[in-house]
Structure 1
Amino acid sequence: MDTVLRILHAAGGWHHGLHLRIESPPYMALVIEATDESGPCGLPALSVCHYGEQNGDAMRDPEMCFELGFAGGAHLNPFYWRNDYVGVEQWSRFLREDNYCVHTQLHAEHERFARLWDNNLRQQGFAEAFERQRSQHA
């Protein structure tokens, strides 16, 4: 998720209370926010989401949660995927009774999806849209 890392870096990095809403028409807004809870390895966690609307309700399309790691350079490691339109919620890495658990096949699918989504976000100009929004509010 190099595009999200680029945006995060430009925003001053991860911090409690981080909330970014990036508009890049005609695409759905992208929301990047720090979560209140750490990820399954105890690292800072980040939610990345496109929100749509159905019958007045906010719908995640999709949402992914990542842990922000720094070993070997800044990187995002997925552990959660959700899409409200299809009614699917998946945890590929989690804690159960204080034990770290990984669904390796599902985690690999989350990693593949994150690479595809990152490519789409880059092509859709979200990093540049964030820079424009930031310069307009400066």
Structure 2
Amino acid sequence: MKTILAILKKAGGWRPSLYVKIENPPYLSLVIEATDESGPLGLPAISVCHYGEQNGDAMRDPEMCFELGYAGGAHLIPYYWRNDYVAVEQVSRAIIRDHYVALTALQKQHEKFAETWDNNLRLQQYEEAFTDKCILG
């Protein structure tokens, strides 16, 4: 997720009040925001989401949540994927009854999707569309 990390850097880095919204027509808006809770490993977490609209409702297309790791350099570790248009929600890593649970095959799918999505965001020039006016929190 090099594109997202580059945008985060331009936005001043992770913070609890982080909220960035990038409008990049003709593509869907991209929202990057800090989550209220840490990720499954206790690391800071962000939600990255394309928002569309259906019948006046905001629709995630998709949303992914990532933990922000720093060991070996800044990197994003996915653990959640959701798409409202197809009514699918997936959690690949979580704390369940005080135990860390990782669904490794699903985790690999999330990592692969994140790579593809990041490449699309790069090609669609979301980093270039970012300005200080995109920082809303």
Q: TM-score band (shorter)?
A: over 0.9
After TM superposition, give the deviation of residue 92 of structure 1 in Å: 0.2
Q: Kindly tell me: are residues 136 and 34 of structure 1, through their superposed partners in 2, closer, same or farther at Cα, counting changes over 3 Å?
A: closer
What amino acid is aligned across from residue 75 of structure 1 in structure 2? H
After TM superposition, give the deviation of residue 134 of structure 1 in Å: 2.0
CA RMSD of aligned residues (A): 1.3
SS in structure 2 of the partner of residue 113 of structure 1: helix
CA distance in 2, matches of 1:112, 1:35: 22
What amino acid is aligned across from residue 116 of structure 1 in structure 2? T
CA distance in 1, matches of 2:20, 2:134: 14
Match for residue 27 of structure 2?
27
Pairs within 5 Å for 1:41-120: 41-120=41-120
The answer (yes or no) to whether the contact 2:93–2:101 under 8 Å persists in 1 is: yes
Give the TM-score normalised by structure 2: 0.96
% identity of equivalent residues: 67
Q: Kindly tell me: are residues 108 and 58 of structure 1, through their superposed partners in 2, closer, same or farther at Cα, counting changes over 3 Å?
A: same
Give the TM-score normalised by structure 1: 0.95
What amino acid is aligned across from residue 134 of structure 1 in structure 2? D
The answer (yes or no) to whether the contact 2:20–2:134 under 8 Å persists in 1 is: no
Structure 1: tracts of 5 or more residues without a match:
none
Structure 2: tracts of 5 or more residues without a match:
none
Larger RCO: 1 or 2 (CA < 8 Å, sep 6+)? 2
